[in-house]
């Protein structure tokens, strides 16, 4: 995630105005180790997600580690109101995953199933603990969550966060932008600061669970 020094995670609804070239490199490096990139449907729409852009050198390194050449995108959506005509869902070589609940509209589910692999997790609401267990059972080792804050909040509340990578942008934003994680109350998770990097005034922090 990326956030301003006063905690905003977006400017005009998107995160791009908070980062820069160095943040994009870190973002790419983190994605480079993921088996699955997890994001909520709202984030996918707002940030205009497409298939992962994985450079050939990164693809080769992933395959040497026994991973697929590219990570897969997993979209969390209870309603299944998804932009099925966008490149994310219309690139057959990069078929995404859609995580939904048993209460999803069956007609929408049928449409989504044509362009994505569906993981059902939870009877009414999406249960991310069940979803991650399903992915784990399918051989997924590393899941990188990219938000938005609502999805992050659910992951925190369920105790599913093992580490946090956050870019602190040297900007004051104000306004009503969400913080990094919002949602149900949960017991605090203790983290240990593992890395601090800096470039162009941006701080790159990596915390791991104690």
> Could you write out the three-class secondary structure of the chain?
CEEECCCCCCECCECHHHCCHHHHHHHHHHHCCCCEEEEEHHHHHHCCCCCCCCCHHHHHHHHHCCCCCCCEEEEECCCCCCCCCCHHHHCHHHCCEEEECCCCCHHHHHHHHHHCEEEECCCCCCCHHHHHHHHHHCCCCCEEECCCHHHHHHHHHCCCCCEEEEEEECCCCCCCCCCCCCCCCCCCCCEEEEEEEEECCEEEEEEEEC
pTM of the model: 0.94
Domain 1-33+148-210 fold: Dihydrofolate Reductase, subunit A (3.40.430)
| Region 48-77 average pLDDT | 97
7-24 burial, b if ≥16 CB within 10 A, otherwise e? ebbbbeeebebbbbebbe
Q: Is the pLDDT of residue 95 over 90?
A: yes
Q: Is the pLDDT of residue 190 over 90?
A: yes
Residue 140: what pLDDT?
97
| Region 43-59 average pLDDT | 95
Which among 34, 1, 32, 31 has a CA at the least distance from the CA of 19? Answer: 1
* Average pLDDT score over the chain: 96
Split at pLDDT 50, 70, 90, the class of 186 is: confident
Every domain of the chain with CATH number 3.40.430.10 lies at: 1-33+148-210, 37-141
| Region 146-160 average pLDDT | 96
| Region 56-77 average pLDDT | 97
Residue 102: what pLDDT?
97
Right CATH for 37-141 from 3.40.50.300, 3.40.430.10, 3.40.50.2000, 3.30.70.600: 3.40.430.10
Residue 199: what pLDDT?
97
Q: Is the pLDDT of residue 113 over 90?
A: yes
Write out the two tokens for 79: 């309603």
CA distance 158 to 147: 15
Split at pLDDT 50, 70, 90, the class of 40 is: very high
Q: Is the pLDDT of residue 11 over 90?
A: yes
Q: Is the pLDDT of residue 16 over 90?
A: no
| Region 174-198 average pLDDT | 94
Percent of the residues in the chain that have a pLDDT greater than 90, as a whole number: 96
CA distance 42 to 45: 5
Q: Is the pLDDT of residue 13 over 90?
A: no
Residue 43: what pLDDT?
95
């Amino acid at each position: 995630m990326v956030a301003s020094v006063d905690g905003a995670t977006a400017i005009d609804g998107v995160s791009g105005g908070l980062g820069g070239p160095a943040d994009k490199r870190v973002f790419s490096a983190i994605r480079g180790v993921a088996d699955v990139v997890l994001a909520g449907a709202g984030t996918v729409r707002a940030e205009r997600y497409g298939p992962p852009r994985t450079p050939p050198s990164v693809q080769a390194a992933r395959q040497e580690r026994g991973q697929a050449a590219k990570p897969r995108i997993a979209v969390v959506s209870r309603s299944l109101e998804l932009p099925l005509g966008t490149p994310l869902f219309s690139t057959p070589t990069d078929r995404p995953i859609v995580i939904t609940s048993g209460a999803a509209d069956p007609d929408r589910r049928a449409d989504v199933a044509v362009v994505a692999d569906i993981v059902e997790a939870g009877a009414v609401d999406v249960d991310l603990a069940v979803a991650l267990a399903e992915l784990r059972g399918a051989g997924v080792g590393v899941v990188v969550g990219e938000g938005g804050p609502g999805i992050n909040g659910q992951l925190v509340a369920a105790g599913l966060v093992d580490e946090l990578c956050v870019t602190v942008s040297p900007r004051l934003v104000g306004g009503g932008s969400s913080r990094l994680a919002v949602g149900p109350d949960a017991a605090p998770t203790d983290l240990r600061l593992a890395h601090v990097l800096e470039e162009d005034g941006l701080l790159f922090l990596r915390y791991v669970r104690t």
